[in-house]
Amino acid sequence: MTVMPAARPASVAAPLNADFPTPAVAVRGVNKVYGPAGNQVLALRDISLAVAPGEFVCLVGASGCGKSTLLNIVAGLDRPAGGEVQIVGRRAMLFQEAGLFPWLTAAANVELALRLAGRPAAERRTEAERLLRTVRLDGFADKRPHELSGGMRQRVALARAFAQSADILFMDEPFGSLDAMTRDLLHDELEALWADRGFSVLFVTHDVREAVRLGDRVLVLTSRPGSVAAEFAVDIPRPRRVGDPRETGLVAAITDRLRREVRGHAED
């Protein structure tokens, strides 16, 4: 079951100061251990991060460093061993696999999410078609997942996430299985939708280029146990284009930091 039910309104703490609005996502001191007592593996160690309303934050880390574990905890699919997570707004999640119901058409997959979000039956079909247009799938509403390409299936999953009127999108390597050209196209589309709608994104990837292409900020995770090792601001104007020379230096710096993490001899 990959359709997340419509998120409950999260508890909203009053902002302490108008200059520092309540973050959309706040993670404080989160730890996670796997395994039975006596044979435990520390997967996450003292993770803290925040995503401002409307901000696009990317998390990069080597395979197995705890990215999915962290995202699942933040999205409310798993519990931390310690620490706290605060979410303000409705959330939706996108995984590496689109996770559509194979027996339902593209439109019906989106309509189901609208139903779970409590939208009246009479408007679901029109709204599903509108959402499919948003992700440029007009004309494919009546196709089933096996009749669509991988990129199209991820677009349906994106439309389904929007059907939940999400304020926050959690994305776990959502384009990892797509070819480079389709991925570039979806980067452009996601950026345009994000710029237009102003939702917040926490985007997990092991691909530094992808993180720099999309993020306002890139957080680098250490190898297991995962913790935030470094943070990079991406000051490249949008809309961004593949091959922007400004990205090259930043990609190199982040890759270098990540390599030191993977080799396990980072100095700080």
What residues line the site for ligand ADP (CB under 6 A)?
34-35, 41, 43, 61, 63-69, 224
Nearer to Mg ion, 65 or 159 (CB): 65
Residues 6+ apart with CB under 8 A from 112: 3, 101, 104, 160
Nearer to ligand ADP, 9 or 64 (CB): 64
DSSP 42: E
Nearer to ligand ADP, 47 or 106 (CB): 47
- Angle CA 130–56–67, to nearest 5: 105
Could you tell which of Mg ion, ligand ADP, none binds residue 224, using a CB distance below 5 to 8 A set by kind? ligand ADP
Nearer to ligand ADP, 119 or 224 (CB): 224
Query: Judged by CB under 5 A, does residue 68 bind Mg ion?
Result: yes
Could you tell which of ligand ADP, Mg ion, none binds residue 223, using a CB distance below 5 to 8 A set by kind? none
What ranges make up the beta strands (E) of the chain?
A: 25-34, 41-51, 56-60, 82-87, 91-94, 168-172, 200-205, 217-221, 228-233
> Minimum distance from CB of 32 to ligand ADP (Å)?
8
Could you tell which of Mg ion, ligand ADP, none binds residue 69, using a CB distance below 5 to 8 A set by kind? ligand ADP
Select the residue whose beta carbon is closest to Mg ion and give its number.
Answer: 68
DSSP 17: B
On whether the CB atoms of residues 183 and 211 are closer than 8 A, the answer is no
Parallel, antiparallel, or unpaired: how do β-strands 91-94 and 168-172 relate? parallel
> Minimum distance from CB of 123 to ligand ADP (Å)?
37
